[in-house]
Structure 1
């Protein structure tokens, strides 16, 4: 593919024309982040693999309708991954052969880092207490480090509404993780609350 590998706009244009090789390069570029996001939401390796497969299948099937943000398909992929994780059916298993056949680079053949095995299951359950819109927002801002204004644009929210939702979502997750609405010391094992403390404006 030559210099196409560093040009997502051109790769996506080729994919829109049905170029499976270009789509395979995009798959390689984004699969690690999509997998980590899916694992964060599902709490286990097997379901995360299924969710990732389903998200990329949707990307291919709906490619003519995908909304590209700042020249990247990643925000759309992350939102779709969140939707797939919420539904988390077993249908994704049917699509694994299709995705496994896509070209990929050797260095990206292992998307799962061993330290991800230590992610707290309680954190995944806390994410499950959020509404769909709040989960999308938290996913983009906290986990994927998008500025709040950019995440709001992706989700068709005003910046003010997004800020209010972020505050409420963080509070809801803290309650789910600590079992307390107060400002006291978090319960043992609730270390994931540290990731909820900040956000990019």
Structure 2
């Protein structure tokens, strides 16, 4: 693994070094995949979005000015690509009946993991939450995942999504309320 920083790798890439961008891919693909998977809730779609994000970043690298960290810029490309995919899927899913997705939610409470039935309960709870998340708008789903699952700071989220911090806070508040309402309706 290279000890070069992102700026050095970008410079080498722009100078025609084909291995430099490969190092950036190796450095960030797992982190990016984890977030994207939570956004799109499907292995193949997540892989496609990550690949598209890296391709787009590679093609746009000459226009990267370093106003933000490379990963923040790449993250924004990936999140926007995932949101775009979700919007397209929503149109298709509203016509078709249902969707069989995989759960991408992290464990909610690991304190009870020693109980024999914990795995089944946890899987069911993850499925319920993922189903509820899937019913949120892409904007609400994205802010919930970035803040509550990824632990991103408001400033980073604002930079990634290209909106003011106040917008992030209000979307997050509305998203949490909407998610709570969906989960309560499903329990009733």
1:77 to 56, 65, 74: 74
Matched, 1:172 2:173: no
Give the distance between the partners of 1:123 and 1:140, measured in 2 at CA: 15
Name the CA distance, whole Å, in 2 between partners of 1:175 and 1:69. 39
- 1:35 Cα deviation after fit: 1.2
Deviations 1:54-79 (A, max 9, x none): 12111112222346464x22223223
Partner Cα distance (1:21, 1:133) in 2: 35
How far apart in 1 are the matches of 2:181 and 2:21? Answer: 41
Q: Name the structure 2 match of 1:42.
A: 40
**TM-score computed with the length of structure 2 as normaliser:** 0.64
Residue deviations 1:165-191 (CA, integer Å, cap 9, x gap): 211122222333x143xxxxx849xxx
One of 146, 152, 158 as aligned partner of 1:146 = 152
RMSD: 3.2
- The one-character-per-residue Cα deviations of 1:127-184 (angstroms, maximum 9, x if unpaired) are 44444444443343333322112322343333222211211122222333x143xxxx
What TM-score does the superposition give when structure 1 sets the normalisation length? 0.60
- Work out the number of aligned pairs and report it: 153
Residue 57 in 1 paired to residue 63 in 2?
no
Structure whose CA Rg is larger: 2
Alpha-carbon deviation of 1:52? Answer: 1.6
Distance 1:67 1:133 in 2: 26
Distance 1:167 1:29, change over 3 A: same
